[in-house]
Amino acid sequence: MHLLTESVHLLSAEEYLTLDFGEMRTELLGGVIYDMSPINTPHVYAVDMLTGFLGVLFPQYLIHVQNPVAVPDWQGHDVPNPDLAIIKNQYGRATAADSFVFFEVSDSTYKLDRDYKIPLYVNAGVHSYIVNIPARCVQFYPTDGTEPLAYLEGSVFSVLGVTISVSALFGPV
């Protein structure tokens, strides 16, 4: 009698990035490949607005939009696709060591972003933000172990010297 046993092969960042998923949107979290949620209109709007505001940082930085970043490195098991990353202006795949700031724009993925991705980013030494669409606020997670800060609609926050209005990231109510 043969017993069928399932085994899981955890991928490294390097292995994951050799795979071709075609048009499928995926990310590697904890060595496991996950399908990414579809992008809805409020999400697109917030990412577009952030990209526009932060585009003034060129040419010393790249604005990396929904592209894979190895966190912390190629031997690790995490290759998330932050909604927006500010990285060194370089050619090639980015790692957390190349990154200055990560943004996650959250609507249906808030719990995953807050509980898995943000700690992953902060532990890799990268300041991180969640644009929380349902709550219409921006949360900042510093790397120094202090409590996160919440910026509510009507307030502003600063990213690498660029001041952004929280209200500008959201469409109509």
What is the rounded CA–CA span in Å between residue 30 and residue 57? 32
3-state secondary structure at position 30: coil
What's the predicted TM-score (pTM) here?
0.92
pLDDT tens-digit readout, 77-112 = 999 999 999 999 988 889 999 999 999 999 999 999
CATH superfamily, domain 13-169, is tt1808, chain A (3.90.1570.10)
Confidence of residue 29 (pLDDT cuts 50, 70, 90): very high
Residues 97 and 90: beta-carbon distance below 8 Å: no
Q: Name beta bridge partners: 140.
A: 129, 149
Residues 138 and 125: beta-carbon distance below 8 Å: no
